[in-house]
Structure 1
Amino acid sequence: MKSLFRRLVFVSTLFVGSTTLIGCASVTMPPPTANANNVEKLRMANLTPTAVGKFSLATGVRQDVDNSLGGLRGSSVRAPSGSFSQQLKDVIVTDLKAAGLYDDRSQIQIGAQLTDSQVDAAISGPGTAKLAAIFTVDKAGQRTFEKALFVDSQWDSSFVGAIAIPEAINQYTALYKALAAKLFDDNEFRAALAK
């Protein structure tokens, strides 16, 4: 009887400890750094240096999509600038600057509207994350490119929050560079910035 009681106490302690590990952490995403693959692609594409304009939340999309994430078992992630649309802008600017293709006086301007931002550090089943935006290019005030792009990710999520939550945050954060890569690879986008 005593051994059964000890086992129950041990299991209860493990449960309480695991709930502590998965609860209520707040994480700020790191500032963007240039992605070597994106920078190389940009340098090889023979593009005109460009400015970067307004990045905002798309009309009709809930405000919390731009500044908070559910699906992290009570934990939260925020962008250094306070909004995920601004984080996306910062990623684009960082890569353009590293490639020598950023010019804030250019008549060509990249913009975007964030349409989706989500992550799920699933307790059972795969973890998932998604990031989506409508990108635009304007040249001297004329729209020359507009396209909705998205990236997503799926991975094996752990039952243990201390493992699952950091992995979900890493997977979500990586989507910003992936979405920038998808934009830079787009043939119509490249045509809009071609020399």
Structure 2
Amino acid sequence: MIRSAVRAGAVLATLLALAACAGAPAPAYQPGVANLLALRAGTAPIGVDDFAAEDGINDRRLGLRADSMTGAGSDGAFSTYLQQALEKELRNAGRLDDAAGLRLSGTLTENRLDASGFSVGHASVGARFVLTRDGRVLYDKLHSVDHEWASSFIGALAIPAATQGYSATVQKLIGQLFDDPAFVEATR
């Protein structure tokens, strides 16, 4: 009886460990309500141009304990994930216009994810955002955010929490941009 309970526990632990080691792409980005409200407060239509990553920035893969998370942009890059997240936010607010004279582009300057903690996970994401109108720079600013979330010692719990935490970090970064009074003024 005790042996079968120990054996069942060992099998369960092995299955949990294997589940934690499966690949983890960044989750589909979900627009935030606060970002929607900020954009609807008076932002003019904006087109989004290509985003890239600074040299040396992890743009394709971030470590997650013994596994990794890959970028979920259409090309597998985190910079494209950020670009497409901005497009989703603008589309959600009715402010995305591919033909607009206002153009937003950017460069990923920081991209870190730490799921190694036993009780807390952490991510840092930063980007330089540039807004132009007909080729003239109206806004050029670096934004960076840190985000923490509850994590777990068990990888099968910590890894999904980290992927969701990363997405929330990107949402916070975009919110910081949309809440910047200089950005708001440049988009009017």
TM-score range, shorter chain: 0.7 to 0.9
SS of the equivalent of 1:49 reads coil
Aligned partner of 1:132 among 126, 129, 139 = 126
Asked whether the equivalents of residues 73 and 121 of structure 1 are also in contact (C-alpha less than 8 Å), the reply is no
Aligned-pair Cα RMSD in Å: 2.4
Q: Tell me: CA distance 1:137–1:7, structure 2 relative to 1, closer, same or farther (3 Å).
A: same
SS where residue 104 of structure 1 aligns? Answer: coil
Aligned-pair identity in percent equals: 30
1:172-183 correspondence to structure 2 within 5 Å: 172-183=166-177
Distance apart, 1:124 and its partner CA: 3.5
Q: What's the CA shift for 1:80?
A: 4.3
Distance 1:18-1:98 versus aligned 2 partners, 3 A rule: closer
TM-score of the pair, normalised by structure 1: 0.83
Which runs of 5 or more structure 1 residues have no equivalent in the other structure?
Answer: none
How many residues are aligned here?
A: 186
Structure 1 range deviating more: 6-15 or 65-74 = 6-15
Instruction: Name 2:144's counterpart in structure 1.
Output: 150
Structure 1 residue 9, shift from structure 2 partner: 7.0
1:161 aligns with 2:146: no
Alignment match of 1:22 (pick from 14, 20, 39): 20
Is 1:141 aligned to 2:151, yes or no? no
1:56 has 2:52 as partner: yes
- 1:15 Cα deviation after fit: 5.7
Mapped partners of 2:150, 2:91: distance in 1: 35
Deviations 1:46-89 (A, max 9, x none): 2221111121112x334xx1111113332433314111111111
Distance 1:88 1:37, change over 3 A: same
Distance 1:139 1:85 in 2: 22
User: AA paired with 2:164?
Assistant: N
Tell me the amino acid that sits aligned with residue 67 of structure 1: R
> Quick check: 2:119–2:153 contact (8 Å CA) kept in 1?
no
Alignment of 1:42-191 (within 5 A): 42-44=39-41, 46-58=42-54, 60-62=55-57, 65-81=58-74, 82-124=76-118, 126-191=120-185
Determine helix, strand or coil for the equivalent of 2:66.
coil
Normalised to the residue count of structure 2, the TM-score between the two structures is 0.85
Query: Max radius of gyration: which structure?
Result: 1
- 1:160 offset after TM fit, Å? 0.8
* 5+ residue gaps, structure 2: none
